[in-house]
Structure 1
Amino acid sequence: MSARGPGATLPRVIAAEWTKLMSLRSTWWAALASVAASGGLTYLSANASSGDPGYEPLGDLTAGLILTQLGLLVLGVLAGTGEFSTGGFRSAFVAVPRRWPVLAAQVLAVAGFALLVAVASVVAAVLAILPAASSRDLPVHVTGGSTPHELAGMVLFLTGLALFGLAVGALVRRVVPALVTVIGLTLILPVALSLAVEPGGTMFGEGVTPQEAAVNTVMTLLPSGGGGLLVTSSDGFTMPGAPDLGAVGGGLVLATWALVPFTAAVLRLRLKDVK
């Protein structure tokens, strides 16, 4: 990027942020880990369940999602905190005095790369179920039924989590606190909440206690709960007692989790000096 002046146009800022993102080894390690986790865990799950009566290969597509989403979260956080960790933000903000275009360019760069990683992870999951399906002579139809919706939902979910990690990283500006925040909200808190109550109702909400309904509602409104609806809503799945948000509502929940810290990060840049 050139120094302050007309040379620092948004396309050039985006190109600069893309170049910086691609130059980080952590970017590629996070991407590789995400794809490997998706393919590896899905392969293991498919092999383990292939001997079950009524085995359905496509049922294992999301088996690696829990570790894959961790990789995308880490990717986003490292991108959001990178310049603050190295001090590179000083030259970036000298070149772009308004500052917010730098964050906007980071969003576009991370979204583009995360989308590619998410697609590669989903492809790895599909390929990973083929050996188990072949061993049972079962066909795999990825274009039939709700499978296209599920695959697209996985891509959007993973991309959204990367943007959530980016937003928190840009706001917090420190790697460890940002990672603790996003991992806690996305992976740890849902597990802790699920252990807080004994399940007593059916998937249709019958016999659900108020406590269970409240916990399930909170879980649905967390990043992983809302984003998960992008993947599962086509099957009519709703947590007992929780609101039926559907794929659109779930996507809005995940988008809100990314938008709120991103807005706060922009305001922090505009209202406070960067040191």
Structure 2
Amino acid sequence: MTTLTVTGPSLPRVIAAEWTKLLGLRSSTIVVVVTAAVSGLVTYLSANASSGDPGFDPLDSLTTGLPVAVIGPLVLGVLVGTGEFSTGMFRSTFAAVPRRLPVLVAQVVVTTALALLAAVLAVAAAVVGILPPASSRGITPDLLSEGTPQSLLGAGGFLVGAALFGLAAGALLRRTLPALLATIVVTLVLPVVLLLASELASDPLAASASNTVPTRTAVVNTIITFTPTGAGSLLTEPSSSGVDGAPNIGALGAALVLAAWVFVPLGAAALRLRRRDLV
């Protein structure tokens, strides 16, 4: 007697279904548009504010909008990761795809695709944002100058990585608000709090006199280097020698750190999806 094993639809069909659901959400379009708009606006304001400086270089402002623009991809990823559970659709989804993991894989694929679109538009908006201040000084930005292409690619990679980090956290926690809080705290709040705490606790005069980096500062800078924001900063600054007291992991190390922030919670989410009830 032959036993039939129900495996559900093929992966391409699951990806197509997830893509349809993602594009059907008005919030997806809003996130992409707002991310690009914020990137361009903040970059313009930064470049315009520094355009009066004698050594003004518009290329220095290219990535100034990233710390704010990254919120959009984070939100996008979280919404995708928690969408099935916040709406209750997971019951019908996993009834149709009983193996479950193809759904998570499909969500990774569609999130990467939409985040890549948002990243390309955000980087393009940043380039457009530096043009008016550069023109006011008679400067023509050279986007092919040393380090600039890698900086632009790094900015795009950071935004895509942030979206996947949001997806991983959302898929693991399954609740929109906790996932949003967790990703925003880790990405935006934690580095700022650590820097403020380090500055308040350090004695700049003593550090200047000894010409060494205080241990507390070195520890804080090391921790920040291994946060998503620290890794993203190194991705956009290919010629950077790192932060004082922290190991210089370079662009490749930064990419690995950002990948770890994605794949560790994503792996935990996959394990939970396979081994635990959908509650």
TM-score by length of structure 2 reads: 0.93
Q: Is the 8 A contact 2:32 2:117 kept in 1?
A: no
Query: Structure 2 regions of 5+ residues with no counterpart?
Result: none
- Specify the code of the residue in structure 1 equivalent to 2:277: D
Classify the secondary structure of the residue corresponding to 1:151: helix
- Measured after TM superposition, the shift of residue 236 of structure 1 is 2.3
CA distance in 2, matches of 1:7, 1:167: 23
Deviations 1:115-135 (A, max 9, x none): 111010000000111111111
After superposition, residues 172-183 of structure 1 pair within 5 angstroms as: 172-183=173-184
CA distance in 2, matches of 1:239, 1:265: 32
CA distance in 1, matches of 2:198, 2:84: 42
Task: Identify which of 213, 216, 219 aligns with 2:218.
Answer: 213
Classify the secondary structure of the residue corresponding to 1:98: coil
CA distance in 2, matches of 1:139, 1:145: 15
- Measured after TM superposition, the shift of residue 6 of structure 1 is 6.2
CA distance in 2, matches of 1:15, 1:237: 43
- Which residue does 2:71 correspond to in 1? 70
2:230 is aligned with 1:229? no
CA distance in 1, matches of 2:161, 2:150: 16
Q: Is the 8 A contact 2:234 2:240 kept in 1?
A: no
- Which residue does 1:118 correspond to in 2? 119
- Measured after TM superposition, the shift of residue 237 of structure 1 is 3.3
- Specify the code of the residue in structure 2 equivalent to 1:249: G
- Measured after TM superposition, the shift of residue 165 of structure 1 is 0.3
- Specify the code of the residue in structure 2 equivalent to 1:50: S
2:16 is aligned with 1:15? yes
Q: Is the 8 A contact 2:7 2:97 kept in 1?
A: no
* RMSD (Å), alpha carbons: 1.4
Query: Structure 1 regions of 5+ residues with no counterpart?
Result: none
- Measured after TM superposition, the shift of residue 227 of structure 1 is 2.3
- Which residue does 1:35 correspond to in 2? 36
Classify the secondary structure of the residue corresponding to 1:52: coil
| Misfit runs of 4+, over 6 Å | none
- Specify the code of the residue in structure 1 equivalent to 2:180: L
CA distance in 2, matches of 1:91, 1:109: 19
Deviations 1:217-244 (A, max 9, x none): 1111111111221111x22231111111
Classify the secondary structure of the residue corresponding to 1:139: coil
Task: Identify which of 243, 253, 264 aligns with 1:239.
Answer: 243
CA distance in 2, matches of 1:28, 1:237: 38
Q: Is the 8 A contact 1:227 1:253 kept in 2?
A: no
After superposition, residues 168-207 of structure 1 pair within 5 angstroms as: 168-198=169-199, 200=204, 207=212
- Specify the code of the residue in structure 1 equivalent to 2:56: Y
- Which residue does 2:268 correspond to in 1? 264
- Report sequence identity in percent: 54
Q: Is the 8 A contact 2:7 2:99 kept in 1?
A: no
TM-score by length of structure 1 reads: 0.94
CA distance in 1, matches of 2:101, 2:109: 13
The structure with the largest alpha-carbon Rg is: 2
Classify the secondary structure of the residue corresponding to 1:197: helix
